[in-house]
Amino acid sequence: MKKLVGMVALAACCSVPMFAQDMGGMKMSKPASKEAMPSPRHEADVDLAGKKVHISYGAPSVRGRKVLGTDLVPYTTWWRTGANEATTFETTGDVMVGSLHVPAGKYTLVTLPAEGQWQLVLCKHTGQWGTERFAAEDLGKVPMMKTAIPKQELMSIGFEKTAGKKTQLHIKWDTFDVSVPVTAM
């Protein structure tokens, strides 16, 4: 009898799938590889008079969805500014992002979308997956300028109008472009 109960218990355990559960359409575990991610990893780099800035982010696509003011990118809720792993901002020297002094190092970049002016936040905590937020470790936040653009399917982060120690950091997706100046110190 004990043998039969043990075999039934073993069979039940072996029949349970050993992968992440689907919680309302949201995967709760990391993909096995970066290639398996539906939103590919992209990078943006700039050299400001010898001080390098590197941004790494997951680039989601619109795919026919409404982006702003929805569950995808809600207003007045912190957004990881991309998809999958948190977006990172790394600099080899001190820079100013807007009015925020950013010492050399690696940070998590998040934004606070709004119908009007957005906020960009750099956080000292790095390495988190998805939307996990560590507000107590924020380096600071700065306002971003928002403008309308023609529809852009794939989200992009890049640097424009680079000259010497100055550039503009742009985040573009769907019909919005938010930007902030970056200056090497």
Cβ atoms of 159 and 52 within 8 Å: the answer is no
The residue among 94, 109, 107, 174 whose CA lies nearest residue 144 is 109
Residue 31 or residue 174, greater confidence: 174
Which 3 state secondary structure label does DSSP give 96? strand
Looking at the predicted structure, is the pLDDT value of residue 10 above 70? no
Cβ atoms of 11 and 4 within 8 Å: the answer is no
> β-strands 22-23, 100-102: how paired?
unpaired
| pLDDT in the model for residue 2 | 53
Cβ atoms of 54 and 167 within 8 Å: the answer is no
Instruction: Return the DSSP state at 69.
Output: T
CA atoms of 180 and 32, how far apart (whole Å)? 34
For the stretch 98-157, pLDDT in tens is 999 999 999 999 999 999 899 999 999 998 876 677 889 999 999 999 999 999 999 999
For the stretch 31-78, pLDDT in tens is 555 555 678 999 999 999 999 999 999 999 999 999 988 888 889 888
Give the helix/strand (H/E) hosting 4: helix 2-14
